[in-house]
Amino acid sequence: MKYPWLELSRELQSIAQAGLTFGENKYDIDRYEQLMHISQKIISDFTDIEYEKVEHIFKMEKGYLTPKVDVRGVVIRDDKILMVKETIDNRWSLPGGWADVGYTPKEIAVKEVHEESGMKVKAGRLLAVWDKKCHSHPPDINYVYKIFIHCEEVDGEISPGMETSDVGFFGLDELPELSTPRNTKEQIEIVFRKVINSDFTSEID
């Protein structure tokens, strides 16, 4: 277990949120609120995130707690992979973001690639579904599944979007500084080789 304190805090959050959603006894509700507070305090104490911000993020979650879904589009051109520079940390990632309600995973991949890189693409096959906790990402408040989808160019023009400051294609031997909350070097290498080698199997944790 890479971050035991994070796993424990998420477990507490899940129990507390389910209790607050389905509980009826006022004394039980009070105990679930205490559990939620403990979970928030653990995360705040072990990270640089202020308690008020952690509390705000937790309050946005309603109902039974489920994983969030992050979708990444994988575009290869001339043995190089499309990447965007994130304005939030000035580091690079495959274009992508949170899945929106009302969109299929393929539609999310197409939308995110276009919004972040300017490129119009057609979504193809599933390359990987990974659980963020199983990879070398930094700790995250959210529990996240990451979906990587191969996308083919329709219109190859590239330009930064609202959340990106630069766009480019990179070979595996020239990858820029990565935004590790979003993707790791190992993940990029795996999906790159799957496309290049026409490997039609899908990775899954």
Q: Among residues of the chain, what percentage have pLDDT more than 90? A: 64
Which CATH number fits the domain that encloses residue 180? 3.90.79.10
* Per-residue pLDDT tens digits for 149-171: 999 999 989 999 999 999 999 99
**52 in the same domain as 144:** no
Domains contained in the chain, number: 2
State the chain's mean pLDDT as an integer.
92
Provide CB contacts within 8 A for 26, sequence distance 6+: none
**48 in the same domain as 13:** yes
* Per-residue pLDDT tens digits for 40-88: 888 888 877 888 888 877 777 777 778 999 999 999 999 999 999 999 9
From 44, 60, 76, give the residue that closes a domain. 60
From 12, 39, 60, give the residue that closes a domain. 60
Q: Among residues of the chain, what percentage have pLDDT more than 70? A: 99
Tokens standing for residue 205: 């944790």
**101 in the same domain as 22:** no
pLDDT at 114: 98
**200 in the same domain as 169:** yes
Q: Which domain does 107 fall in, by range?
A: 68-204
**74 in the same domain as 48:** no
**192 in the same domain as 110:** yes
User: Would you say 91 and 177 are in contact if contact means Cβ atoms under 8 Å apart?
Assistant: yes
DSSP string, 98-129: EPPTT--HHHHHHHHHHHHH--EEEEEEEEEE
Provide CB contacts within 8 A for 49, sequence distance 6+: 43, 141
User: Would you say 88 and 59 are in contact if contact means Cβ atoms under 8 Å apart?
Assistant: no
**151 in the same domain as 50:** no
pLDDT at 154: 96
The verdict on pTM exceeding 0.85 is no
The DSSP output letter for 89 is T
**126 in the same domain as 49:** no
**100 in the same domain as 189:** yes
**31 in the same domain as 52:** yes
